[in-house]
């Protein structure tokens, strides 16, 4: 088994994708992706539907195996068969479009479950941490509710707290506001912004262009499985170079 930290230092990218290809059968979804993310950076991936954004983000915590290329988190190859998946999964948290809370557990139990069962941490410590996280996502009063009793925005904030309770180094957000009612989108975005302000390394796949522009350090525009253009948000949104980026932005903005 490889050591969880490897030889990685803070000067190197915390997430590094190089030449990542992914095919589902004969359908090639990713056609050579290169992305480097430094610790504390906030990176947004934008692009038309079906451009492989979700697949891309899911390769980073190993949910979707890559066909070719390398994905490294803190210097460790994610798709190494000998990799200790648990070490990876506590470093990388992911929040999904459909929240995917455990419907048979209360909000507090949802947040505490993984640290207790997977990391076997001390219950009182976990409980304290979970309560603090629920307070941070402003759901302190809902800790004994079941997921189905909450709105979509509330469920999504629980999902964020649940991931954070594993104390990850990197957070992935896979179109987390796409399934929400317009009025609850904002509360989730505020939560993510607070997180980014605190210095968490974040990678987001999003359709919220205003939000991407506001919080990103860098924006990647993907189309048909390739990165077409990348750069600081001011450059991508104000002076896009590639005609595909221009066309996409003219449609969504």
Partner 1 sequence: MLDLIAPFFERLYDTTGLNFSPFYNSYDWGRLVEGMWVSVKLITAIIAVSLVIGVIGAGAQTSRLRIIRWMVSAYIEIFRNTPPIVQLLFFYFGLGAITPQVDMGGWYEPAIGSFGWAVIAIGIFGGSYNVEIFRSGIEAVPASTKEAAESLGFSGFKIFVYVTFPLALRICLPALTNNIVSLAKTSSLAYVIAVPEITYSLSGIWSDSVNVPEMMLLLFGYYIVLIAIIARIMTMIERKIALPGYGQ
Which residues form the interface with partner 1 (CB under 8 A)?
Answer: 61, 63, 85-86, 89-90, 92-94, 96, 98, 100-104, 113-114, 117-119, 145-149, 159, 162-163, 166
In whole angstroms, give the CA distance from residue 201 to residue 172: 9
For residue 15, the number of C-alpha atoms closer than 13 Å in the C-beta half-sphere is 29
CB of 60 to partner 1, least distance (A): 10
* 249 neighbors 240 (Cβ within 8 angstroms): yes
CB of 84 to partner 1, least distance (A): 10
Of the pair 157, 218, the CB lying nearest partner 1 is at 157
CB of 63 to partner 1, least distance (A): 6
- Full 3-state SS string of 128-172: HHHHHHHHHCCCHHHCCCCHHHCCHHHHHHHHHHHHHCCCCCEEE
CB of 83 to partner 1, least distance (A): 13
What residues are paired with 72 via a beta bridge? 16, 77
Of the pair 164, 209, the CB lying nearest partner 1 is at 164
CB of 179 to partner 1, least distance (A): 11
Using the CB atoms, write b or e for 1-34: b if 16+ within 10 Å.
Answer: eeeeeeebeeeebbbbbeebebeeeeeebbbebe
In whole angstroms, give the CA distance from residue 43 to residue 37: 7
Of the pair 27, 117, the CB lying nearest partner 1 is at 117
Of the pair 107, 185, the CB lying nearest partner 1 is at 107
Of the pair 145, 178, the CB lying nearest partner 1 is at 145
In whole angstroms, give the CA distance from residue 118 to residue 242: 46
Spatial CA neighbour of 133 closest among 105, 106, 109, 164: 164
Of the pair 68, 104, the CB lying nearest partner 1 is at 104
CB of 129 to partner 1, least distance (A): 15
């Amino acid at each position: 088994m490889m050591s969880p930290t490897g030889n990685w230092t803070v000067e190197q990218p915390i997430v590094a994708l190089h030449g990542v290809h992914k095919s589902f059968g004969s359908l090639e979804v990713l056609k050579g992706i290169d992305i480097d993310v430094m610790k504390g950076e906030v990176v947004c991936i934008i692009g038309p539907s079906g451009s492989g954004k979700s697949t891309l983000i899911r390769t980073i915590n190993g949910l979707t195996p890559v066909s070719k290329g390398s994905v490294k988190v803190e210097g460790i190859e994610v798709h190494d068969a000998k990799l200790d998946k648990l070490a990876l999964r506590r470093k990388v948290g992911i929040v999904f479009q459909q929240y995917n809370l455990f419907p048979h557990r209360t909000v507090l139990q949802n947040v505490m479950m993984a640290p207790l069962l997977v990391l076997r941490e001390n219950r009182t410590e976990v409980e304290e941490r979970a309560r603090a996280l629920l307070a941070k996502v402003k759901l302190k009063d809902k800790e004994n509710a079941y997921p189905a009793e909450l709105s979509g925005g509330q469920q999504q904030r629980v999902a964020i707290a649940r991931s954070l309770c594993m104390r990850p180094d990197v957070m992935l957000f896979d179109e987390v506001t796409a399934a929400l009612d317009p009025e609850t989108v904002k509360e989730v975005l505020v939560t993510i912004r607070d997180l980014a302000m605190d210095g968490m390394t974040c990678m987001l796949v999003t359709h919220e262009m205003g939000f991407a522009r506001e919080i990103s350090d860098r924006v990647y525009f993907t189309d048909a499985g390739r990165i077409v253009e990348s750069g600081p948000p001011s450059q991508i949104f104000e002076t896009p170079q590639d005609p595909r980026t221009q066309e996409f932005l003219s449609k969504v903005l």
